[in-house]
Amino acid sequence: MTTFLAAGLLFDLDGTLVDTAADLACAANHMLKTLGRPTEDEATVAGWIGDGVPRLIKRALTGERFGEPDPALFEEAQALYGDYYERHVADRSRLYPGVAETLAALRADGFRMACVTNKAGRFTRPLLKALGVAPYFDVILSGDELPRVKPDPLPLMVACERLGVARDGAGLVGDSGNDMRAAKAAEMPAIAVGYGYHHGVDLAALGAAAITPTFAGVRNLFRFEGRFLLSKAMP
């Protein structure tokens, strides 16, 4: 077993800290209904999550994973979606079990923490504040603050700079392939949570150093003085 000395922890948001599917589905269906289109069930919308709101909207409009709608239609849909979601960002979204308690414990352990998400800032900060976990994060980095988002490593590198920790002293916790790819490109270890919006992707094959079925399990991988225990060598 190898060890990794960690000072900073980076956390994804949707699917890792918060189950946002219900509110995202409501916003998508409001948009679709206003545009005179059929609405979708929550499970279908959950399958669109993982690449940011703009891509979710495009999937809703085209029915394709990487389809591109008419630009004018997309702009109209994006405005409808954003206005609604901003007003209802935390109506039904909930922290996953153990998130608040584990963040509090990690804070007490002395870790510096950042939330790094592809979600726009107009949604990210109100959501974290409404659910009571914003104070745990020294840095909140949203998807509209930089020219590139995950799976590009830039957000992780900037988060480390803002935390004041080196990349070789940080780890990422996420639920998706984008998280694993970003961490690998940034040359930092990633812990994958077994729930969330990974859509059946094999996160271990994408470089996850460890996978935990619960958020509380994240802390079980850490010990005093920030020693991160890996069950295998870094990929």
The DSSP bridge pattern shows strands 94-95 and 222-223 to be unpaired
Q: What is the pLDDT of residue 5?
A: 63
* CATH number 3.40.50.1820 is the correct assignment for the domain at 2-19+94-230: no
Structure tokens given for 2: 């190898």
Q: What is the pLDDT of residue 200?
A: 84
Q: What is the pLDDT of residue 28?
A: 97
In this structure, are residues 87 and 122 in contact, taking their beta carbons and an 8 Å threshold? no
pLDDT single digits (tens) 93-130: 999 999 999 999 999 888 999 999 999 999 999 999 99
CATH second-level architecture of 21-87?
Orthogonal Bundle (1.10)
Structure tokens given for 25: 């589905």
Indicate the SS3 state at residue 25.
helix
* Model confidence band, residue 226 (pLDDT cutoffs 50, 70, 90): very low
Which alpha helices (H) appear in 131-228, and where do they start and end? 154-163, 177-185, 216-220
Is 138 tagged catalytic?
A: no
Catalytic residue, candidates 12, 14, 19, 23: 12
Distances (CA, A) of 41 to 25, 79, 86: 7, 21, 20
List the domain boundaries for the chain.
Answer: 2-19+94-230, 21-87
Q: Alpha-carbon distance 29 to 141, whole Å?
A: 27
Percent of the chain with pLDDT over 90: 80
* Model confidence band, residue 196 (pLDDT cutoffs 50, 70, 90): very high
pLDDT single digits (tens) 127-154: 999 999 999 999 999 999 999 999 999 9
| Reported pTM | 0.92
Q: Alpha-carbon distance 68 to 99, whole Å?
A: 36
Q: Which of these, 93, 178, 112, 168, lies nearest to 143 by C-alpha position?
A: 178
Helix, strand, coil % (nearest 5) of the chain?
45, 15, 40
